[in-house]
Chain A
Amino acid sequence: MSLPKPDELLTGVNLHKTPEKDWMDIKPELRRGMYCGIVEPHVMEDLGLPNLGKWQAYEEKWPLPENWKEIVRRAILRRMEMHRSFKLFMDICVRCGACADKCHFFLSTGDPKNMPVLRAELIRSIIKGEFSTFGKLLGKFAGARKLTEDVIKEWFYYFYQCTECRRCSVFCPYGIDTAEITIMMREILHELGIAIDWAMKPVHNSYFIGNHVGVPPQSFKENLEFLTWEFEEITGIHIDLDKYINRKGAEILFVPLSGDYFADPGIYTMLGYLVLFHYLDLDVTMSPFASEGGNFGFFNSLEVAKRLHAKIYEEAKRLKVKWILGGECGHMWRVWHQYHNTWFGPIDFLEVPKSPITGTVFEHAKSNKIVHIIEFTADLIAHNKLKLDPSRNDHLVVTFHDSCNPARALGIFEEPRFIIKHVCNNFVEMPENTIREKTFCCGSGSGLNAGENMELRQRGGFPRANTVEYVHKKYGVNQLVCICAIDRAVFPTLLEYWVPGVDVSGVHELVANALVFEGEKSRDVDLRRRPLKHPVKGVDQPTEGEEG
């Protein structure tokens, strides 16, 4: 199915018009392009997870197990007992509607079930209708309804139209977090055996091969080799890769993102990390087994998430490092920051992270011993440890996209901006109501960056793309910088559709391009071979003063 043109996609979206029928009376209609394919059974079997065999969501009759109702009821109750968050969020919503127009999927579809409040009502109504005496008694008046097969379809459709970005939870007067509800609901669907291919195949890859994209160790190294050759071609600086892979006894374990060594433009961010390590001669290594900082498990089930990330600390132990450094990624950092310590702690076999270059002790990470590379680099720049020439990025007009989870689960706002302002001269912010904690999701997070749901992705990313278009037209922004690997993977597609002419990169690509190396050669292109505004004069081209 081909996607309508950008001018036509949003025709018919009216944020102030609601359907005639009550939402409970509207049957779920699974529209092609708006949902993902169902996972292959063997993927789930290998992982020891339930599945419903080979089927697809568009089939009229879903192959639910005979006791599906019992499974769902039990799964709901269990999760309310396990998580106060879930139970509380089911109880205290007053339907004030403050969240309604905060969701990027609502803003781009106008579908009332994409208002966070109604998304939550999809399950809240069932809890009332199945477990509450009052709910059963009062029915629709109190917002209660019965569990039917259509409800399961509705859940599948709408809980996979949420990217767990938490924007709604910023505005909710009670802090109700739809991400939490979506995770629980996807867990419940998983208990039935319903899961999407695009989320679970990466989980399978990450579990058995070490990273989401399924890059085996030899290709991991080859991909990095390609990057460093390219770097040497451009700058004449040789990076010795060997010490960065699977070396025991290094001081730091660096965990990259597979998106960053798999495809353009993420690869330039990966190169950025390597260039930085080489510049500092940092005692760091990577594990090909723990070559994935991201966690597609988290989007679907906390247990699966924990199963994937256990290896990070196991590898830190095996490689006898002192602490762990993580790459630029979004949901990854929510998992690392908010869950790792509880899952795997206390982490007493590692040391409190301390930068070997500046001596800074990262007190805020003293318990779980993991540092964000953005924090690490910001600290380097603050201590003047990097020789940077920001004019090497003068061909770029940069804006920064606060990736949703680093923004709303860490609050990492100043560090990336601090770095960006030191590595380039042209930086502009997007409009105030769409940055920092109010930032918009790329529209493809939480495992929704598949191909078959392209319409959903282009719609979901529209609010973000719209503000990029604004700064593109107003200030000539031609580079969107972000700190998330999913962003780097999906923004090119999104921006090509809505705002052609804006490239996407991570922060460390800009850092690497601005780094001044001893003995570098002249170049007139940046690291991805776009022409520089001011060519770099290297050792092969001595300045006139020295010649004389």
Chain B
Amino acid sequence: MNALVSFIILGILLFIPWLGVGVLGWESLFGIVIPYVCFLVFVIGLIYRIVCWAKSPVSYKIPTTCGQQKSLPWIRRSLRDRLESPFTTWEVVLRMFLEIVFFRSLFRNLRADLQGKRLIYGSAKWLWLGAILFHWSFFIILLRHIRLFTNPVPEIIQGLDYLDSFIQSFGVPPVYITDILILAGLTFLLLRRFIDSKVSYLSYGSDFFPLFLILAIVITGVLMRYSLKVDLYAVKQLTLGLATFNPVIPEGAKIGTIFYIHLFLVSTLAAYFPFSKLVHMVGVFFSPTRNMANNNRAVRHVNPWEYPVKHYTYYEYQEKFKDKMIEAGIPIDEEVQPEEEHEWYSLYIIESKLPPKIKS
């Protein structure tokens, strides 16, 4: 049901540029205005999200430790321990690098099965593989597109293009490896949402939608390259114009509706990005269980809103148990004085006791 609704939405998204460009001929709207607006939404939206996260302070240092802590000097810490339970900033940086570039935690994935009265665990790296295929291919494809926005095309991008297409097919143009891999990755991630009962159960429409959308972007892109050929020269004129803030719709040339559909879907993805789960791309950098060092006892973390709390004092305690303590032969502290009423705040009950740095 959720998937169906997502699919229908995608259908509508495909229909809009087909109608707008293919029938009504509004090239400027779909070639210039919408891409610009969506890109702006993407940038502003993302900044908004980042500022929003940054405004909430990191209250406590709460790394999840997956390796041996640094404690006694003779306790051996392997490289793995240092990356999974980082003590220094460098180790944290490396942990984050592995997490973001190689999806370290996902690589740990296990599968649990209940067989009669026994739980069995096995390695389950498929999700990791699918995710790596998809994300890395997406990233390389994105880099490849730089050639549409630069003139001359940087050599590194040309090199990337060359590497990606090293499998020379008989026909022209050569097949990009990433095109195949991203399709494989996306198909796996999508099928998983249908077939794995648990994942299917917890998937919302908004989990299917980005998969459908990106799949449609890939397919339209692939179609443009291999079958429904578009005028590449005209396309580059348009994209270069967009990149140099001097946008023009190439006159006379017929770019082809498929290109506008592709561009519209990409624009949609950009605009949708900051307001959806896709922000995990940026959010992962902020994750306090991953980006903090496991050195709490050596390096103090300061919480900006920390406030003094009400607590019971030894004086009150000793007053209450004095006789019993004497009887049991426990030393009494003669020097202890009743504490003056100390400053304290609370989040509970009394509004007037709310900590000063916390809004009501």
Cβ contact within 8 Å between A102 and B68: no
Chain B residues closer than 8 Å to A368, beta-carbon distance: 296-297, 300
Is A138 in contact with chain B by the CB < 8 A criterion? Answer: yes
Q: Mark B333-360, 1 if CB is under 8 A from A, else 0.
A: 1001000000000111110000000111
Task: Report the separation of the CA atoms of residues A424 and B288 in the bound assembly, to the nearest whole angstrom.
Answer: 39
Task: Report the separation of the CA atoms of residues A370 and B296 in the bound assembly, to the nearest whole angstrom.
Answer: 11
Cβ contact within 8 Å between A338 and B60: yes
Chain B residues closer than 8 Å to A93, beta-carbon distance: 277, 280
Cβ contact within 8 Å between B311 and A307: yes
Is A17 in contact with chain B by the CB < 8 A criterion? Answer: yes
Say which size band chain A's interface belongs to: 35 or more
| Complex interface residues of chain A between 65 and 106 (CB less than 8 A to chain B) | 74, 78, 80-88, 91-98, 100-102
| Complex interface residues of chain A between 339 and 383 (CB less than 8 A to chain B) | 339, 341-343, 345-346, 360, 362-368, 370, 375, 378-379, 382
Cβ contact within 8 Å between A207 and B205: no
Cβ contact within 8 Å between B348 and A191: yes
Task: Report the separation of the CA atoms of residues A288 and B303 in the bound assembly, to the nearest whole angstrom.
Answer: 30
| Complex interface residues of chain B between 161 and 209 (CB less than 8 A to chain A) | 196-207
Chain A residues closer than 8 Å to B277, beta-carbon distance: 91-95
| Complex interface residues of chain B between 289 and 327 (CB less than 8 A to chain A) | 289-290, 294-303, 305-306, 309-314, 317-318, 320-321, 324-325, 327
Cβ contact within 8 Å between A318 and B197: no
Is B18 in contact with chain A by the CB < 8 A criterion? Answer: no
Task: Report the separation of the CA atoms of residues A53 and B9 in the bound assembly, to the nearest whole angstrom.
Answer: 50
Cβ contact within 8 Å between B349 and A177: no
Chain A residues closer than 8 Å to B119, beta-carbon distance: 107, 462-463, 466-467
Q: Closest Cβ of chain A: how far from B93's Cβ, in Å?
A: 15
Q: Mark A500-541, 1 if CB is under 8 A from B, else 0.
A: 000000000000000000000000000000000000000000
| Complex interface residues of chain B between 53 and 78 (CB less than 8 A to chain A) | 53-72, 74-76
Cβ contact within 8 Å between B117 and A7: yes
Cβ contact within 8 Å between A364 and B295: yes
Q: Closest Cβ of chain B: how far from A167's Cβ, in Å?
A: 10
- Stretch in A35-43, A56-64, A409-417, A479-487 touching the partner: A409-417
Cβ contact within 8 Å between A412 and B113: no
Cβ contact within 8 Å between A174 and B329: no
Cβ contact within 8 Å between A437 and B66: yes
Q: Mark B28-72, 1 if CB is under 8 A from A, else 0.
A: 000000000000000000000100111111111111111111111
Cβ contact within 8 Å between A84 and B297: no
Task: Report the separation of the CA atoms of residues A434 and B118 in the bound assembly, to the nearest whole angstrom.
Answer: 13
Most central of A19, A221, A368, A433 by chain B CB within 10 Å? A433
Chain A residues closer than 8 Å to B131, beta-carbon distance: 96, 173
| Complex interface residues of chain A between 401 and 422 (CB less than 8 A to chain B) | 407-415, 418
Cβ contact within 8 Å between B62 and A342: no
Is B97 in contact with chain A by the CB < 8 A criterion? Answer: no
Chain A residues closer than 8 Å to B325, beta-carbon distance: 217-218, 246, 288
Chain A residues closer than 8 Å to B197, beta-carbon distance: 16-18
Chain A residues closer than 8 Å to B284, beta-carbon distance: 92, 173-175
Q: Mark A437-470, 1 if CB is under 8 A from B, else 0.
A: 1100000000000000000000000110011001
| Complex interface residues of chain A between 196 and 243 (CB less than 8 A to chain B) | 207-208, 210, 216-218, 221-222, 242
* Contact flag A98-B127 (CB < 8 Å), given A173-B103, A437-B67: yes
Is B287 in contact with chain A by the CB < 8 A criterion? Answer: yes
Of all chain A residues, the one with the shortest Cβ separation from B208 is A141
Cβ contact within 8 Å between A15 and B202: no
Cβ contact within 8 Å between B202 and A414: no
Task: Report the separation of the CA atoms of residues A6 and B197 in the bound assembly, to the nearest whole angstrom.
Answer: 27
Cβ contact within 8 Å between B301 and A382: no
Chain B residues closer than 8 Å to A177, beta-carbon distance: 62, 64, 289
Task: Report the separation of the CA atoms of residues A134 and B209 in the bound assembly, to the nearest whole angstrom.
Answer: 15
Task: Report the separation of the CA atoms of residues A83 and B305 in the bound assembly, to the nearest whole angstrom.
Answer: 10
Cβ contact within 8 Å between B283 and A174: yes
Q: Mark A316-350, 1 if CB is under 8 A from B, else 0.
A: 00100000000000000000011101110110000
Is B254 in contact with chain A by the CB < 8 A criterion? Answer: no
Cβ contact within 8 Å between A315 and B314: yes
Chain A residues closer than 8 Å to B121, beta-carbon distance: 431, 433-434
Q: Closest Cβ of chain B: how far from A171's Cβ, in Å?
A: 6
Chain A residues closer than 8 Å to B127, beta-carbon distance: 96-98
* Contact flag A310-B311 (CB < 8 Å), given A218-B325, A363-B298, A431-B121: yes
Task: Report the separation of the CA atoms of residues A318 and B302 in the bound assembly, to the nearest whole angstrom.
Answer: 25
Q: Mark B85-121, 1 if CB is under 8 A from A, else 0.
A: 1010000000000010001011011111110011101
Is A170 in contact with chain B by the CB < 8 A criterion? Answer: yes
Task: Report the separation of the CA atoms of residues A117 and B347 in the bound assembly, to the nearest whole angstrom.
Answer: 28
Task: Report the separation of the CA atoms of residues A74 and B351 in the bound assembly, to the nearest whole angstrom.
Answer: 12
* Contact flag A91-B62 (CB < 8 Å), given A143-B204, A173-B106: no
Q: Closest Cβ of chain B: how far from A534's Cβ, in Å?
A: 30
Task: Report the separation of the CA atoms of residues A280 and B203 in the bound assembly, to the nearest whole angstrom.
Answer: 59
Q: Mark A1-33, 1 if CB is under 8 A from B, else 0.
A: 000001100100111111100010000000000
Most central of B295, B297, B336 by chain A CB within 10 Å? B297
Cβ contact within 8 Å between A433 and B110: yes
Is A52 in contact with chain B by the CB < 8 A criterion? Answer: no
A306: which of B204, B295, B309 is its contact (CB, 8 Å)?
B309
Is B157 in contact with chain A by the CB < 8 A criterion? Answer: no
Chain B residues closer than 8 Å to A115, beta-carbon distance: 198, 202
A84: which of B57, B85, B111, B329 is its contact (CB, 8 Å)?
B57
| Complex interface residues of chain A between 281 and 337 (CB less than 8 A to chain B) | 287-289, 301, 303, 306-308, 310-311, 314-315, 318, 337
Q: Closest Cβ of chain A: how far from B8's Cβ, in Å?
A: 11
Is B5 in contact with chain A by the CB < 8 A criterion? Answer: yes
Task: List 5 tightest A-B contacts by C-beta distance, closest first.
Answer: A411-B65, A92-B283, A411-B69, A175-B289, A218-B328
User: 19 more A-B contacts (CB under 8 A) besides A246-B331, A438-B108?
Assistant: A14-B114, A15-B113, A48-B350, A50-B348, A78-B358, A93-B277, A95-B277, A107-B119, A173-B284, A175-B99, A310-B309, A310-B311, A311-B313, A342-B300, A342-B306, A378-B72, A407-B65, A411-B68, A412-B69
Interface CB pairs A-B, < 8 A, 9:
A23-B201, A48-B350, A84-B54, A142-B204, A171-B109, A207-B312, A318-B333, A366-B297, A367-B300
